[in-house]
Structure 1
Amino acid sequence: MTLQKEVLATQAVDLFRNGLYCSEAILQVFNKELGLGLNDTAIKMATGFGAGLGASKCCCGSLTGAVMVLSAVKGRTSTEGNVDEVFSLTQELHNEFKKRYKATCCRVLTRSVKWGEPEHHQLFEQYVRGAVEILTDILERESKPAPVKSNG
């Protein structure tokens, strides 16, 4: 799988600029790009994650949107499915986001700006772009076949 990281990031930022929440923008872009086949009801599930979980300013919507994409690609549909891979990739996504931005909590990430002001939107665009970049790196790496080990 070859994903154009900058194109996807720009598309997600554009959707955010046009009024979608971070979580909605990321899920919509990857639903289209990866052909996930998520219907409108599935897409609407991202809305409650906006503004840090229903405007509580907790977990960043960019991060939760990216986790929803990872889960759509690697998640399970029954108790017989394995969660190890999606949990590991989600932890990687979380840890890389936290390493890059020093937090995953919307309230902490935005404490230096007034909510709704232009600076707030510019800051959020950075988080949308970063989450898309991290997610794209993970998805591209995970789509490559494992190297064949030689016996000699």
Structure 2
Amino acid sequence: MTLQKEVLATQAVDLFRNGLYCSEAILQVFNKELGLGLNDTAIKMATGFGAGLGASKCCCGSLTGAVMVLSAVKGRTSTEGNVDEVFSLTQELHNEFKKRYKATCCRVLTRSVKWGEPEHHQLCEQYVRGAVEILTDILERESKSAPVKSNG
């Protein structure tokens, strides 16, 4: 799998600039790029993660959107499926995001700007881009070490 990190990041930022929440933008870009086959109902599940879990300003929607993509690729559909791999990759994604931005909480990440102002949206673009970059690195590395498989 060869993912064009910069192209995917730009596509996600463009969707975000055009009104999608960060979580929605990331899920939509990777659904198309990876051919995840998520239908509209599945895509709509990303909406509630926007603005830090339904505007509660908690966990960053860019991070949760990226976790949804990881889960779509590596998650399970039954109790027989193993969660070790997806949990490990999710922890890696979380830890790298936190290392890069010093927080995962939307409220903390955006405290330097007034919520809802243009500066707020511009600041969040870097989190969308960063989550896509981290996710792309993980997915590319994993595709080289093992084929993507169902963990049903």
TM-score range, shorter chain: over 0.9
Give structure 1 stretches of 5+ with no counterpart.
none
Q: Which residue number in structure 2 is paired with residue 114 of structure 1? A: 114
**Offset at residue 117 of structure 1 (A):** 1.1
TM-score in terms of structure 1 length: 0.95
Tell me the distance in 2 between the aligned counterparts of 1:94 and 1:66.
Answer: 9
- The structure-2 alpha-carbon separation of the partners of 1:81 and 1:116, relative to structure 1 and needing over 3 Å to count, comes to same
How big is the shift at 1:150? 28
Tell me the C-alpha RMSD between the 2 structures.
Answer: 4.8
Compute the displacement of 1:149 (Å).
Answer: 22
Larger Rg: 1
Give CA-to-partner distance per residue, 1:29-67, whole Å, 9 cap, x none: 000000000000000000000000000000000000000
Q: CA deviation at 1:119?
A: 1.1
Say if 1:89 and 1:148 are closer, same or farther in 2 by CA, change over 3 A. Answer: closer
SS of residue paired to 2:145:
coil
Give the C-alpha shift of residue 106 in structure 1: 0.2
Structure 2 stretches lacking a partner, 5+ long: none
Q: State TM-score, norm by structure 2.
A: 0.95
Q: Which runs of 4+ in 1 moved over 6 A?
A: 147-152
Instruction: Return 11-20 or 115-124, whichever deviates more.
Output: 115-124
Cα deviation for residue 145 of structure 1 reads: 3.4
SS in 2 for 1:144: helix
| Alpha carbons 2:82, 2:151 under 8 Å: kept | no
